[in-house]
Structure 1
Amino acid sequence: MKKLTGFLMILLALISISANETAETGKPLVYRLPIFSNINSTVWVHTQKAFKEAREMNADMILIHMNTYGGEVVFADSIRTKILNSDIPVHVFIDNNAASAGALISIAAQNIYMRPGANIGAATVVNQTGEEMPDKFQSYMRSTIRATAESHGKDTIIVANDTIVKWRRDPRIAEAMVDERVEIPGIIEAGQVLTFTALEAVEHGFCDGIARSIDDVLEQLGVPDAEVVSFRPTFYDNLKGFLTSPILRGMLILVILGGIYFELQSPGIGFPIIAAIVAAVLYFAPLYLDGLAANWEIMLFVIGVVLIALEIFVIPGFGVAGISGTILVVTGLVLSLLDNVVFDFSGVKTKELMEALLTVFGGMFGGILLVIYLSNRWTASPTAPLSRITLQTSQDINQGYVSVDTHYKSLVGKTGVSSTVLRPSGKVTIEGEVYDARALEGFVDRDENIKVISFTSGQLNVRKI
């Protein structure tokens, strides 16, 4: 811990020295954020850290260097909101592609610059297989991209003594990048999703200039001699991005709950509980370090697990303890995903709450279906991957396998003494051994002589002599 603290202090000192040197030289500071992959949880983690570092260094502007085919809408929307709310001007340089989620992020920037041959558009919401999602998803995306274009306001242009007021970025054009039903005369016909080339984007207000390099962009921004500092992610940044992926969170929830369940079925320290502990650490650690998961939220989860264990091993049945434990476990998992202060949820948006609930319950129910599917695929046949650790044979009666002890059959006809009162079930002693027995007729008092008449389901049927 001391080494980590020392490293952080050195890092902050280096950042401070760099900022002071920049201030002394008088050169503008441009903070560059490269986005060269699909938009996902890792890119969102990088964006948050990059904006924080840019503020700490008093950067004059942030330049997003982009080349992406799109990604997850939820993270694109978060980055878009980050840009719109930034007190530092944000510009984007599209170095080839800004498709789908990339287009939404680009439209949020103050200025857009594109390399010759670059493209922007095609923001229709699709699933993992590339198929278009239902209209309710498209409706949300249409509204979001329109609002993003509208946020840049309108320009007033005077032509031949006539005043023309027009959108700086036309919301209708932005919507056409999502909805193929939108028709704009002279730009796009119905039935096609809009994608602009660099020159087309300049013509219609979705590009502020053509640039071949970062230096060209700085020249057009009026800061040709600016110092450029690029964001460099650490190993932890990439690990945190991976661990905060909604899909992985769902899988971790599956391992946590599944591990607890299987461990409670076979008490003792085994693989299930170890897997559950590791999954819980991976689930809560990045959230705790980020300040999302507080100590009390993690304790809710732990207390919930303890209550479920008490319900199974101490209190027979499924009552208050079991229900309370289940509620606490789910509550702990959900609250750890929300940026709340104790029970103050005033800063939590409904959208964030729904995402947290969807992640937790989706992980639970989706994981159950996945386990059923994989169990059939991986264990059903002798050649399946996990066939060696599963039972592949049946124990048939014709092979000598029976479900009860055959020793009981040899006791038929023998006599003994009732060890307890048989009302009608109890204990009897035969040849010095105690057995479960049931009286065929009425009750039998203790220390009465009995005779074994028959046996069923591992229990002797006796009659008083």
Structure 2
Amino acid sequence: MRRILLYCFLLVFISGPLYAQKVLSIKLDATINPATADFIHRAIEVAQKERATCLLIHLNTPGGLLQSTRIIVSDILESSVPVVVYVSPGGAHAGSAGVFITMAAHIAAMAPGTNIGAAHPVVAQGQMDTIMSAKATNDAMAFIRSIAKKRERNANWGAQAVSNSVSLTETEALENNVINLIASNEQELLNKIDGKSVTVSSGTVILQTKHATIQSLEMGWGEKMLNILSDPNVAYILFLLGLYGLIFELYSPGAIFPGIIGGICMILALYTMHTLPVNYAGLALIVFGIILFLLEIKIVSHGLLAIGGVISLLLGSMMLIRTGETTAVAGLSWTVIITAVGITTLFFLFVVGLGLKAQRAKPAMGLEAMVGEIGQSLSELNPGGTVRMHGEIWKAISSAGLIPEGKKVIVTGILNLTLQVEAYHESSV
């Protein structure tokens, strides 16, 4: 009986780990930025802590920031847990930065109907000069060659993807030794890689994925927020909203709400710009453009200051993201730029202008509001007497000769709570 129990215990002990294997799965359907880099770093840590047999990354990205790509690649190369990058679902693309991440994986796979490639460094607005372009290209080529050699993949194709922006379908990628296999779905992928031996930072590992349970890991709210804020278009809009809010607060002290919203937007914008390759000359031009719009409202320049503001804001927006430091989609959309410049121009020339004109308008309350009002004399004004204004009886002095009782009068001024009036004539209005 004891032997039977011992055999059962040994059987459970030996077979237990086989059926307790776990695959940690994440989905990366976004640009490569600090948020996605943090997410992958956290996923690797969770996979290591929970002793997962591998980390599976479902990848679909047009590219992103080169610095974030380097961080992700470094995390994958140093991981003690095998990392499987699966370009999926059908129609997905591992573009630009995605090429580096896919080739850095211990096992690279693609779904039918996907493609990979076009990793040439590009800029968002404008063009790099020849020297900067050559530096960026050579640096990216050396980077992808080192990754390909580490994983025994096609280094020559990787260099061409950088230098000539070539792309491959999933079947071409398999034929050219860019990926390890093609799988139609997640379970087929896990079945195909089961039993494969991979080398990680801690040694050689044999994957046991056929009967493994799949545990999904989602982005945290902080990572999702940072992912949204990492979009340069969002940072640009937040920065402009922050400027507007602070300007409103300065023009109307005590309004509080514009100041709070402006401060929050400005802090978020500066935090986001900290993660992006911001050109501070472009930032200064945007601020200078807003200042010129404000001066146009205060100073009669016949539109010269407004024109300068438009030019400064447009140039600053074009220069806001530094050229030569991105691998793809890290720039401002022209639609966003044109819309922001147009709305800002109209806003300052019309809305704020109308507000300032209202501030200069005649007071509608208090004694000063009585000037120009029409009343009726209750007694003969020669020159003093009384008049009825707004249902109230006031002392009044005629400043233009005798005014009979019962005549309409118009207020021309106020002195020591005594109205100065003159006879009202229809032609005087």
Aligned to 2:297: none
Structure 2 residue 100 is the aligned partner of structure 1 residue 112: no
1:100 is displaced (CA, Å) by 1.7
Contact 2:107 2:180 in 1 (8 A): yes
Aligned to 2:377: none
Residue identity matched to 1:103 = V
Structure 2 residue 70 is the aligned partner of structure 1 residue 77: yes
Contact 2:154 2:177 in 1 (8 A): yes
Structure 2 residue 169 is the aligned partner of structure 1 residue 206: no
Residue identity matched to 1:224 = K
Structure 2 residue 166 is the aligned partner of structure 1 residue 194: yes
Structure 2 residue 145 is the aligned partner of structure 1 residue 149: yes
**Residues 393, 55 of structure 1: alpha-carbon distance in 2 compared, 3 angstrom cutoff:** closer
Residue identity matched to 2:177 = G
Aligned to 1:295: none
Counting aligned pairs with the same residue, the percent is 25
Residue identity matched to 2:265 = A
Residue identity matched to 1:146 = A
* CA deviation map 1:239-288 (0-9, x unaligned): 2322344554565556657766775677555455323432355468xx7x
Give the alignment of 1:233-382 within 5 angstroms: 233-245=219-231, 248-249=234-235, 252=238, 263=249, 268=254, 270=256, 273-279=259-265, 282=268, 358=278, 363-369=283-289, 372-373=309-310, 377-378=342-343
For residue 58 of structure 1, the aligned residue among 48, 51, 59 is 51
**Residues 31, 263 of structure 1: alpha-carbon distance in 2 compared, 3 angstrom cutoff:** same
Separation of aligned partners in 1, 2:344 and 2:22: 59
Aligned to 2:153: 169
Compare CA radii of gyration and give the structure with the larger one. Answer: 2
1:220 is displaced (CA, Å) by 2.3
Structure 2 residue 214 is the aligned partner of structure 1 residue 228: yes
Separation of aligned partners in 2, 1:78 and 1:362: 27
For residue 121 of structure 1, the aligned residue among 94, 117, 122 is 117
1:50 is displaced (CA, Å) by 2.4
Contact 1:62 1:89 in 2 (8 A): yes
For residue 29 of structure 2, the aligned residue among 17, 25, 36 is 36
RMSD: 4.1
Contact 1:149 1:171 in 2 (8 A): yes
1:207 is displaced (CA, Å) by 1.2
Aligned length: 281
Aligned to 2:367: none
- Name the SS of the counterpart of 2:163 in structure 1: coil
Separation of aligned partners in 2, 1:243 and 1:114: 29
**Residues 262, 365 of structure 1: alpha-carbon distance in 2 compared, 3 angstrom cutoff:** farther
**Residues 366, 281 of structure 1: alpha-carbon distance in 2 compared, 3 angstrom cutoff:** closer
**Residues 212, 50 of structure 1: alpha-carbon distance in 2 compared, 3 angstrom cutoff:** same
**Residues 386, 26 of structure 1: alpha-carbon distance in 2 compared, 3 angstrom cutoff:** farther
**Residues 264, 392 of structure 1: alpha-carbon distance in 2 compared, 3 angstrom cutoff:** closer
1:198 is displaced (CA, Å) by 2.1
Separation of aligned partners in 2, 1:172 and 1:99: 17
Aligned to 1:408: none
TM-score, normalisation: structure 2: 0.53
* CA deviation map 1:70-113 (0-9, x unaligned): 33434333322332232322121122421222112111212211
Contact 1:254 1:363 in 2 (8 A): no
- Name the SS of the counterpart of 1:390 in structure 2: helix
Contact 1:114 1:207 in 2 (8 A): yes
Residue identity matched to 1:171 = A
Separation of aligned partners in 2, 1:256 and 1:94: 39
Separation of aligned partners in 2, 1:111 and 1:362: 42
Gapped regions of structure 2 (runs ≥ 5): 1-14, 195-208, 294-308, 314-339, 358-429
Residue identity matched to 2:161 = M
**Residues 376, 177 of structure 1: alpha-carbon distance in 2 compared, 3 angstrom cutoff:** closer
Contact 2:84 2:105 in 1 (8 A): yes
Separation of aligned partners in 1, 2:232 and 2:343: 25
**Residues 368, 47 of structure 1: alpha-carbon distance in 2 compared, 3 angstrom cutoff:** farther
Separation of aligned partners in 1, 2:152 and 2:341: 57
1:28 is displaced (CA, Å) by 2.4
Aligned to 2:85: 92
Higher relative contact order (CA 8 A, sep 6+): 2
- Name the SS of the counterpart of 1:98 in structure 2: strand
TM-score, normalisation: structure 1: 0.50
